[in-house]
Amino acid sequence: MSIEKKEFQEQEPLGAVRPDPLSQYLKTGDKPAFYANGFQAGLTHSDCYLIFNQNKADKVAITLPLSTIKSLKTILSQMENDYEKQFGIKILSSEELVSRKSKQKDNK
């Protein structure tokens, strides 16, 4: 299932009071959900695969068509921009966090 950008833009702004889609999803009880704090990604000739990790342990793999990955990238980028604009906080990537931690360690 793909999500069109228009559908994303029609949602209420961040911080608005509305039903949490994840909470609604979890209430059904018949669909898996988990937390991931890492991932691996790769490509085949026609798809992209993502392996989500929790504390460095592989938990789930998903394969998506390249067109879906492109749509997902657009939506995630817009969500990141909206969050940073609303809260005035730059979201650091995992690589940026590791680099920052390493620099702090070197300065001690």
Chain centre to alpha carbon of residue 95: 15
Q: What is the reported pLDDT for 18?
A: 58
Q: Parallel, antiparallel, or unpaired for β 47-54 and 38-43?
A: antiparallel
Q: What is the reported pLDDT for 23?
A: 79
Q: What is the reported pLDDT for 2?
A: 41
Mean pLDDT in consecutive groups of 10 residues from the start of the chain, 108 residues: 40 56 78 89 95 94 96 95 94 90 80
Number of neighbours of residue 54 by Cβ within 10 angstroms: 13
Q: Which residues contact 5 (CB under 8 A, 6 or more apart)?
A: 71, 74, 75, 78
Q: What is the reported pLDDT for 37?
A: 92
Chain centre to alpha carbon of residue 108: 33
Number of neighbours of residue 45 by Cβ within 10 angstroms: 5
Q: Which pTM value belongs to this model?
A: 0.67
